[in-house]
């Protein structure tokens, strides 16, 4: 659902302005779902992209609870009222279903999953200007590198965030010397804002991801670079 909410927001944005997608290291499955409506998609050579598919599994108690002296009980009304009910895992609030799905329940679950998959395929087809048949050929959970993704038209260009920003600048009709401010949202990532915590120590925050990346390059000075997860560019520079 989160991917679909973002995808719809991107689709609305593309009606008024270009939206350039930079996929980072991993943008598969839900990551590709929300990428599909972008004006252009950029990926790195080794980016994990694609994985157009929907997975489903059912975990149930097949003697696990009995081995640990655990049991469950309930009163139900209706053939499917006990689905998902079973022993509780301490301290988690999770329940392990006491039984497997019946053939009827499995059939209903499969219908829902196939419906989600068809919905996914249609979105990619519309966003990437492909036929449903072609998307299904590329789909079924298959993953691609950025290079292969470009060959099969799931990706438009090979590049990173810096290239995506330059493409967005060009597509927006900005001149080379026009001022551009890069804002990273949200600034606070996680429960603890380490950037704010460390600010009294004389460290300052850089919001422009391109400047952070250039800073990293200059510090390494031709040496090997670590693999950075999307959004984890260095956020500090000593004063």
Instruction: Please tell me whether residue 192 adopts helix, strand or coil conformation.
Output: coil
Statement to judge: residues 121 and 198 lie in one domain = no
Residues 45 and 118 in one domain: yes
11: left (phi over 0), alpha (psi -120 to 50) or beta: alpha
Of 43-57, 81-95, 153-167, where does mean pLDDT reach its minimum? 81-95
Q: Is residue 181 part of a domain?
A: no
Q: What is the pLDDT of residue 222?
A: 63
Model confidence at 198: pLDDT above 50: no
Confidence at residue 202, expressed as pLDDT on a 0 to 100 scale: 39
Confidence of residue 42 (pLDDT cuts 50, 70, 90): very high
The DSSP code for 185 is S
What band does 151 get if pLDDT is binned at 50, 70 and 90? very high
pTM, full prediction: 0.65
Residues 46 and 72 in one domain: no
Q: For the segment 141-150, what is each residue's pLDDT rounded down to a tens digit?
A: 899 998 999 9
Across the chain, what does the average pLDDT equal?
Answer: 79
- Same domain assignment for residues 158 and 118: yes
Same domain, 223 and 115: no
Q: How far apart are the first and last CA of the chain?
A: 42
Instruction: Tell me the mean pLDDT in the region 7-22.
Output: 89
Residues in the chain: 239
Q: Does 96 share its domain with 205?
A: no
Cα–Cα distance list, 218 to 47, 100, 109, 215, 226 (Å): 24, 57, 53, 5, 14
- In a domain? residue 215: yes
Domain contains 36: yes
> Are 114 and 163 within one domain?
yes
- pLDDT > 70? residue 19: yes
Percent of the chain with pLDDT strictly greater than 90: 22
For residues 130 and 122, what is the distance between their CA atoms, to the nearest angstrom? 9
Residue 116 in any domain: the answer is: yes
C-alpha span between 90 and 93 (Å, rounded):
7
Q: Mean pLDDT throughout 88-116? A: 85
Higher pLDDT pick, 191 / 124? 124
Query: Two tokens at 78?
Result: 């209706």
Query: Quick one: average pLDDT of 70-78?
Result: 80
In a domain, 176, yes or no: no
Residue 226's domain comprises: 194-238
**Do 46 and 122 share a domain, yes or no?**
yes
Is the domain of 221 the same as that of 115? Answer: no
Specify whether 167 is located in the same domain as 117. Answer: yes
Please check whether residue 59 lies inside any domain of the structure. no
CA dihedral 11, 3, 26, 23 (to 10 degrees): 20
Same domain, residue pair 6 and 115:
yes
pLDDT exceeds cutoff 80 at 77:
yes
Across the chain, where does the E strand assignment appear?
Answer: 20-22, 26-28, 40-43, 48-50, 86-89, 94-97, 143-144, 157-158, 203-205, 236-238
Q: Per the structure, how many domains does the chain have?
A: 3
Q: Which of 101-110, 154-163, 213-222 has the lowest mean pLDDT?
A: 213-222
Residues 90 and 155 in one domain: no
**So what's the pLDDT on residue 153?**
92
Instruction: Read off the pLDDT band of 190 (50, 70, 90).
Output: low
Distance CA 109, CA 102 (A): 10
């Amino acid at each position: 659902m989160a991917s679909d909410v973002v995808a719809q927001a991107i689709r609305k944005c593309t009606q008024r302005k270009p939206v350039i997608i930079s996929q980072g290291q991993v943008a598969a499955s839900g990551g590709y779902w929300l990428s599909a409506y972008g004006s252009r998609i950029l990926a790195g050579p080794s980016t994990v992209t694609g994985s157009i598919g929907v997975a489903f599994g059912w975990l149930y108690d097949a003697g696990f609870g009995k081995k640990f002296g655990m049991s469950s009980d309930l009163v139900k009304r209706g053939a499917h009222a006990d689905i998902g009910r079973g022993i509780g895992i301490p301290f988690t609030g999770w329940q392990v279903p006491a039984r497997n799905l019946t053939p009827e329940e499995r059939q209903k679950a499969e219908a829902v999953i196939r419906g989600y998959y068809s919905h996914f395929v249609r979105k990619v087809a519309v966003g990437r200007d492909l036929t449903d048949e072609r998307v299904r050929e590329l789909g079924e959970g298959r993953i691609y590198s950025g290079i292969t993704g470009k060959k099969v038209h799931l990706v438009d260009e090979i590049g990173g965030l810096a290239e995506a920003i330059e493409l967005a600048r060009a597509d927006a009709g900005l001149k080379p010397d026009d001022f551009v401010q890069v804002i990273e949202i949200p600034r606070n990532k996680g429960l603890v804002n380490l950037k704010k915590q460390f600010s009294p120590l004389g460290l300052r925050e850089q919001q422009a991801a391109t400047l952070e990346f250039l800073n990293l390059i200059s510090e390494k000075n031709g040496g090997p670079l670590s693999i950075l997860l999307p959004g984890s560019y260095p956020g500090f520079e000593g004063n």
